[in-house]
């Protein structure tokens, strides 16, 4: 795990953002948020911000949705190595297929029940935070 794990959460639902912050708050993470795809790309492309170790990306959002944002990240030479995990209520097979074919690093659905949602977030943070070797940009 890097010294400080920088996490970018992209979601238009303030309740969901809050839940992520609360659930992962006691882990040693720096949580950044963006309310849609445009805001996320702006965050990622600004040199003032730390490079996230992981992006959690909702799908259904106004302005620029998650799949469009994913495509933009994965076709950007500078950004494409950042792991992007879709975190969405959509169980639609087409969304799952499209996400993986556009190189989402994983696809996780948000459970409706709060406790389950918290557990899913912890699993996710545990895998990406402890088991995975992340790219280090030179």
Partner 1 sequence: MTQPFPVLLVDDDDGDIMLVQGALEEAGVELDLHVCHDGAEALAFLRQEPPHESAPRPRMVLMDINMPRLNGLEALKAIREDEGLRGIPVIMLTTSSDNTDVMEAYGTYANAYVTKPVDLDSFNESLGTLARYWSKTVVTTSSKRD
* Of residues 34 and 84, the one with the C-beta less far from partner 1: 84
CA distance 117 to 121: 6
* Of residues 112 and 136, the one with the C-beta less far from partner 1: 136
Length of the chain: 138
Residue 105 engages partner 1 in binding (rule: CB under 8 A): yes
Question: Exposed/middle/buried for 8, CB within 10 Å: 0-12, 13-18, 19+?
Answer: buried
Q: In 54-136, where does DSSP find H-type helix?
A: 66-74, 93-101, 114-126
Whole-number minimum distance, CB 84 to partner 1, in Å? 10
- By CB under 8 A, name the one of 1, 64, 96, 118 that touches partner 1: 96
CA distance 88 to 46: 25
Please tell me the count of residues contacting partner 1 according to CB under 8 A: 29
Whole-number minimum distance, CB 14 to partner 1, in Å? 24
Print the binding letters for residues 42-81 with partner 1: x by CB under 8 A, - otherwise.
Answer: --------------------------------x-----xx
Residue written as tokens 């996490």? 7
74: tokens are: 């994965």
Residue numbers at the binding site for partner 1 (CB under 8 A): 74, 80-81, 83, 91, 93, 96-97, 100-101, 103, 105-109, 120, 123-124, 126-128, 130-136
């Amino acid at each position: 795990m890097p010294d400080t794990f920088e996490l970018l959460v992209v979601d238009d639902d303030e309740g969901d953002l809050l839940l992520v912050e609360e659930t992962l708050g006691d882990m040693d993470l720096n949580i950044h948020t963006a309310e849609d795809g445009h805001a996320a790309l702006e965050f990622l492309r600004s040199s003032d911000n730390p490079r996230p170790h992981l992006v959690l990306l909702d799908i259904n959002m106004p302005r620029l949705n998650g799949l469009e944002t994913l495509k933009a990240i994965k076709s950007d030479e500078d950004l494409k190595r950042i792991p992007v995990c879709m975190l969405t209520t959509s169980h639609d097979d087409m969304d799952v297929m499209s996400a993986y074919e556009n190189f989402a690093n994983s696809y996780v659905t948000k459970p409706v029940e709060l406790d389950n949602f918290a557990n899913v977030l912890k699993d996710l943070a545990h895998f990406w935070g402890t088991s995975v070797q992340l790219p280090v940009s030179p």
